[in-house]
Structure 1
Amino acid sequence: MNSQDDWIISSLLEDLAALALANDRISIADLVEALGARGFGPLLVMLSAFLILPVGMLPGLPGVVAIFMILIGGRMMTGETTLWLPARLRRVHISGHVLAVSVARAQPAALWLRPLLTPRLVALIEGRIATRLIALILIGTGVLIFLLGFIPGLPFVLSLHVLMLGLALSTRDGLVAALAYALMGPEIIFIWRVFT
Structure 2
Amino acid sequence: MAREITTLQEMLDRIGDSADDAGRVSLGKIVESVGNRSFGPLLLMVGIIAASPLSGMPGVPTATGVLILLIAGQLFFRRDHFWLPKWLLRRSLAQDKVTKAIRWLRPLARFIDRWLRPRLPALIRGGSIYLISFICGSIAIVMPMMELVPFSAHGAGVALSAFGLALISRDGLLALIAFAVTAVSFGLVIYQFS
Task: Write the letter of the residue equivalent to 2:157.
Answer: S
Q: Which runs of 5+ in 2 are unaligned?
A: none
Task: Write the letter of the residue equivalent to 1:70.
Answer: L
Tell me whether 1:135 sits opposite 2:120 in the alignment: no
1:173: Cα distance to partner?
0.7
Matched residue of 1:80: which SS?
A: coil
Q: Check conservation: 1:148, 1:154, Cα contact below 8 A.
A: no
Provide the TM-score with structure 2 as the length reference: 0.80
Per the alignment, residue 160 of structure 1 pairs with 158
User: In the superposition, relative to structure 1, how do residues 93 and 55 fare at CA in structure 2: closer, same or farther (>3 Å)?
Assistant: farther
Q: Check conservation: 1:41, 1:167, Cα contact below 8 A.
A: yes
1:13: Cα distance to partner?
1.2
1:9: Cα distance to partner?
1.1
Greater alpha carbon shift after TM alignment, 61-70 vs 9-18: 61-70
Structure 1 distance, partners of 2:60, 2:43, is 14
Q: Kindly, what percent of the aligned residue pairs are identical?
A: 28
Per the alignment, residue 148 of structure 1 pairs with 145
Matched residue of 1:82: which SS?
A: coil
1:102: Cα distance to partner?
3.3
1:161: Cα distance to partner?
0.7
Matched residue of 1:118: which SS?
A: coil
Structure 2 distance, partners of 1:31, 1:58, is 24
Correspondence list, 1:162-181, <5 A: 162-181=160-179
Provide the TM-score with structure 1 as the length reference: 0.80
Q: For the aligned residues, what is the CA RMSD?
A: 2.9
Matched residue of 2:25: which SS?
A: strand
* CA offset digits 1:27-48 (Å, max 9, x no partner): 3222212222461111111221
User: In the superposition, relative to structure 1, how do residues 82 and 195 fare at CA in structure 2: closer, same or farther (>3 Å)?
Assistant: same
Structure 2 distance, partners of 1:25, 1:54, is 24
User: In the superposition, relative to structure 1, how do residues 7 and 90 fare at CA in structure 2: closer, same or farther (>3 Å)?
Assistant: closer
* CA offset digits 1:65-105 (Å, max 9, x no partner): 32221112111221213111123322334455554443333
1:174: Cα distance to partner?
0.5
Tell me whether 1:118 sits opposite 2:117 in the alignment: yes
Matched residue of 1:26: which SS?
A: strand
Task: Write the letter of the residue equivalent to 1:148.
Answer: M
Q: Check conservation: 1:47, 1:65, Cα contact below 8 A.
A: yes
Q: Which runs of 5+ in 1 are unaligned?
A: 1-5
Structure 2 distance, partners of 1:61, 1:30, is 22
Task: Write the letter of the residue equivalent to 2:145.
Answer: L
Greater alpha carbon shift after TM alignment, 157-166 vs 75-84: 75-84
Q: Check conservation: 1:13, 1:107, Cα contact below 8 A.
A: yes
Structure 1 distance, partners of 2:102, 2:58, is 19
